[in-house]
Structure 1
Amino acid sequence: MSKSDQSLFSLHEHALQQANETCPICNASLQIKHSKAGSFWGCSQYPTCDYTRPVKEVTKFEEQILPGSECPKCGGSLAVKQGRYGLFIGCSNFPACDHIEHEPEETLDVQCPSCKKGHLREKSSRYGKTFYACDTYPKCKYAINHPPVAQDCKECGFPLLLKRNMAAGEKLQCANKKCGKFQ
Structure 2
Amino acid sequence: MSKIDTTLFSAQEHALDKEYRLCPECGGTLVLRRSKHGLFLGCENYPSCQYMRPLQQQNVQIEKTLENSECPECGKPLAIKKGRFGLFIGCTAYPACSHIEANNPVVEEASTLPHCPACYLGQLQAKTSRYGKTFYACSNYPKCKYAVNDKPVSHPCPICGSAILVEKRTRQGVRFCCPQKGCTYSCESL
What TM-score range do you get, normalising by the shorter chain? 0.5 to 0.7
Contact 1:65 1:78 in 2 (8 A): yes
* 1:134-173 aligned within 5 A: 134-173=138-177
Deviations 1:42-83 (A, max 9, x none): xxxxxxxxxxxxxxxxxxx67753333333333333344555
2:124 maps to 1:120: yes
* 1:19-168 aligned within 5 A: 64-81=64-81, 83=83, 88-103=88-103, 105=106, 106-168=110-172
Whole-angstrom CA distance in 1 between matches of 2:149 and 2:94: 36
Give unpaired runs (5+ residues) of structure 1.
1-35, 38-60
Structure 1 length as normaliser, TM-score?
Answer: 0.54
Aligned partner of 1:16 in structure 2 is: none
Aligned partner of 2:182 in structure 1 is: 178
Give 1:100 deviation, angstroms: 3.6
Deviations 1:106-151 (A, max 9, x none): 2544132222332222111122211111121112111100111122
Whole-angstrom CA distance in 2 between matches of 1:119 and 1:88: 21
Distance 1:167 1:81, change over 3 A: closer
1:116 aligned partner, one-letter code: Y
Aligned length: 125
Whole-angstrom CA distance in 2 between matches of 1:96 and 1:178: 48
Distance 1:107 1:139, change over 3 A: farther
Whole-angstrom CA distance in 1 between matches of 2:71 and 2:141: 27
Residue aligned with 1:170, SS: strand
Contact 1:112 1:134 in 2 (8 A): yes
Whole-angstrom CA distance in 2 between matches of 1:170 and 1:63: 37
Structure 2 length as normaliser, TM-score?
Answer: 0.52
Whole-angstrom CA distance in 2 between matches of 1:81 and 1:150: 33
Whole-angstrom CA distance in 2 between matches of 1:77 and 1:65: 7
Aligned partner of 2:9 in structure 1 is: none
Aligned partner of 1:7 in structure 2 is: none
Give 1:101 deviation, angstroms: 3.5
Give 1:162 deviation, angstroms: 1.1
User: Once superposed, what is the RMSD of the aligned Cα atoms?
Assistant: 3.0
Contact 2:62 2:79 in 1 (8 A): no
Whole-angstrom CA distance in 2 between matches of 1:67 and 1:101: 15
Question: Sequence identity, in percent?
Answer: 47
Give unpaired runs (5+ residues) of structure 2.
1-36, 39-60
Whole-angstrom CA distance in 1 between matches of 2:123 and 2:86: 29
Whole-angstrom CA distance in 2 between matches of 1:89 and 1:137: 21
